[in-house]
Amino acid sequence: MEPEKLSVVIKCEGKWSQKLYQKLSSPSPTEHLQVSVEGPYGPASTYFQKYDKIVMFSGGSGITPFISIIRELLHMANNPSNRTPQIILVPAFKKSMDLGILDLLLPISGTSYDISGILLQIQAYVTQESEPATEDQQVYKTIWFRPSALDAPISATLGKNSWLSLGVMIVSSSAVFLALVAIITQFYIYQIEHNTNIIYSYSKRSVINMLLICMSIATTVIIAFLWNKEKNSTETRQIQTVDVPTPVTSPGMSSWYYNADRELESLPTKSFAGSTKVNYGERPDFRKILKENEGSGIGVLASGPKKMREDVAAICSSGFSSYLQFESISFSW
């Protein structure tokens, strides 16, 4: 859907994320950002088309896996030959300004999608506010980074064609080993045996052979490593010369940086206005929602706080309905 792009959603809540937000919002933001991503944990993949309906419960930032899932289903729905299930999205947030993350349900790229091809119903809950916010508030900032040359894929020591390279290394190591054995035997061992008329001991020969094996492998690996390093350096220099088009919606920004401030008024719920309902000052009633969506082939997904996932799992496993198939997505072990 968005080739060559990796999207990372960071909720600005604690000290670390606050500091990161300030750093990225500064007049001279960092050019590159190195991140280490872990999670979410759950099913490696799910064949969503097997369900007739999918009910998704999320709490806070737990909605992020569902954004990817809905984008994928939206992409599939734009192909007439694909069958997509009906989706009931039930996100819960503390503040109304957090509703802005729903804007990510539609891909950020310029690719146009017909949202009428997907049956999506959103029942959002704002737990700590009894009415919508009256003041416009900046919800989140979207930043696009131009890939760094150092971010190019790094080939392993064996290179991209690892099996072929491994075979070449084995053959090369064997050839180097045999050559070293022949040289040492001819010019060292035979000379000692010829001059002293004493047979060189088997134990000494074994030690020398082990050393030669190690030397052969080390020599071959070092040569392969240096060759791949030089090859990667050449590719890196080629990447540095590639121009990245400047986003047309980022006047005044450099070619590698795009900054789009989204506000509460630009919520994507206007795109899904006919299928979106926001409930203020209450928490979702999981049992009631599941009862309203009874039927066969129902998939239930939960992502968010541990207590919420356990509550949904308990309802699905209590015999409430024999048609519910539950899956949990977690950001921690």
**pLDDT value of residue 297:** 83
Q: How far apart are CA 171 and CA 75, in angstroms?
A: 48
**pLDDT value of residue 243:** 42
The tokens 């002293």 sit on which residue?
196
Contact 143, 24 (CB under 8 A): yes
In the CATH scheme, what is the code of domain 44-146+255-329? 3.40.50.80
Taking 70 as the pLDDT cut, the residues of the chain under it are 1-4, 29-31, 39-46, 107-114, 134-140, 147-162, 232-274, 321-322, 332-333
Q: How many residues does the chain have?
A: 333
**pLDDT value of residue 88:** 93
**pLDDT value of residue 23:** 82
Q: Pull the structure tokens for residue 316.
A: 């699905």
**pLDDT value of residue 55:** 94
How far out from the chain centre does Cα 155 lie? Answer: 19
| R_g of the chain, CA atoms, integer Å | 30
The 10 Å Cβ neighbour count of residue 71 is 19
